[in-house]
A and B are shown apart, each in its own frame.
Chain A
């Protein structure tokens, strides 16, 4: 399997613009997670899905952030409008959800810079 695939790898945008990050989970995985990583706050959960249904979005910072999972092989995280404080690395991860250990596998991340 190719692993979790994220695009783009790098995104530079100006404040106020819409940003869309994309993720393709590992085939057969039932759970998909969006995390954000910064130096100050570390790796934080934003939202996660089970079988395409959002389960917990309490980590989404504010209404400017939204996430969708229209099918089992694709998810998006959208920021509209973007602000400089959104600059971070955004990771997508997936897990099978079929065993006790249920390892989460991470994509390579999208490094977002909002100017």
Chain B
């Protein structure tokens, strides 16, 4: 079967660093995505990993280990506006346009 696990909730304070983990078991693998979703809004793309290693984009970084079926999203210098749900998603088939399999999301609450 297909399964993506991530913690349900996390809390952190402004200025801190937080790491959101994601483990996956899928029938195939062709990329892992992180999306951010503010309450009542649409998911928006944050990052993409297809090879092992770290991808850095400003305050956000994402890491992938394909052999371990593991990824994390690292958020630095947290701001209040980072309070949102973070969704891990895997594209399991090797072709563009294939639908994503989403985890249930991690709700991050940032306090001052």
Query: A residues within 8 Å of B by Cβ?
Result: 4, 30-31, 33, 35, 41-45, 48, 50, 55-56, 91, 95, 97-109
Q: How far is the CA of A7 from the CA of B12 in the complex (A)?
A: 36
Contact (A98, B96) CB under 8 Å given A42-B104, A43-B87, A43-B102:
yes
26 sampled A-B residue pairs with Cβ under 8 A: A30-B97, A31-B97, A41-B104, A42-B102, A42-B105, A43-B43, A43-B102, A43-B104, A44-B102, A45-B101, A50-B97, A55-B97, A56-B99, A95-B96, A97-B96, A98-B96, A100-B50, A101-B48, A102-B91, A102-B97, A103-B48, A104-B45, A106-B42, A106-B44, A107-B42, A108-B41
Q: Is B31 an interface residue (CB 8 A)?
A: yes
Q: How far is the CA of A42 from the CA of B33 in the complex (A)?
A: 16
Q: How far is the CA of A109 from the CA of B102 in the complex (A)?
A: 16
Question: How many A-B contacts are there with CB distance less than 8 Å?
Answer: 56
Query: B residues within 8 Å of A by Cβ?
Result: 31, 33, 41-45, 48, 50, 87, 91, 96-97, 99-105
Contact (A97, B97) CB under 8 Å given A42-B102, A42-B104:
yes
Q: How far is the CA of A62 from the CA of B87 in the complex (A)?
A: 26
Question: Secondary structure at chain B's binding surface: helix, strand, loop or mixed?
Answer: loop
Closest to A108 in B: B42
Closest to B48 in A: A101
Chain A residues within 8 Å of B101, by CB: 45
Closest to A33 in B: B99
